Amino acid sequence: MLILKQCFLNRDASRAFVSGNFTGDGLTDSLQGLSSMEVNSIVDWRKLYFEKYTFSGKLVGRFYDSQGNPTKYLKGVEMKAKRGAQLLEKHKSEEDKIPNCNSKWSQAEGGEVWCEAAAGYPRLVRRAGDIALTGQVSQRCACFREEELRRPGLVLYQGCDYLSTSCKVKE
């Protein structure tokens, strides 16, 4: 732990908190290229830090000027973080409208996803907000009613019957 603390002595290495890179280029205060969700994580961490630890000053640099005042850059970061929080809330709200599949996995039997009969049929669906939130696209299993199955972007599990409420999965 001492080595990790030394990485942060007399420097702002904010990027390392989301990148996990605690060496070389990762130990920088530059947040350029990070998604709004990643920036939001850093701002949330900063709030926690101010609540949990004794305040001892501000590091002059990208975020604070020599008088300890926030710079334009910090204000821009806070705005981007706010957008990230709003996108996260919208993303969560949209996902809450479509029920998740049930799932199980065992080494002996592999994986299975299923929907209760009333909930519908399991399909992979893109997480619409992921590019804005994390910069990547991912999918999740969700349950759709029969009349929704022609919706664009839904993916039937390989080897699964079109109207099956349960599907075996390889991974």
Domain ranges of the chain: 2-91, 98-169
pLDDT, one tens digit for every residue, the chain (171 residues): 445 556 667 778 888 888 888 888 888 889 988 888 888 888 888 888 888 888 777 888 899 999 989 999 999 999 999 988 888 888 777 777 888 899 999 888 889 999 987 789 999 987 765 555 556 677 889 999 999 999 888 999 998 999 999 999 876
* Entry pTM: 0.58
pLDDT of residue 141: 92
Sequential DSSP letters for 32-81 = TT--HHHHHHHHHHHHHHHHHS------BTTTB-TTSPBPHHHHHHHHHH
Reduced to 3 states (helix: H, G, I; strand: E, B; else coil), residue 122 is: strand
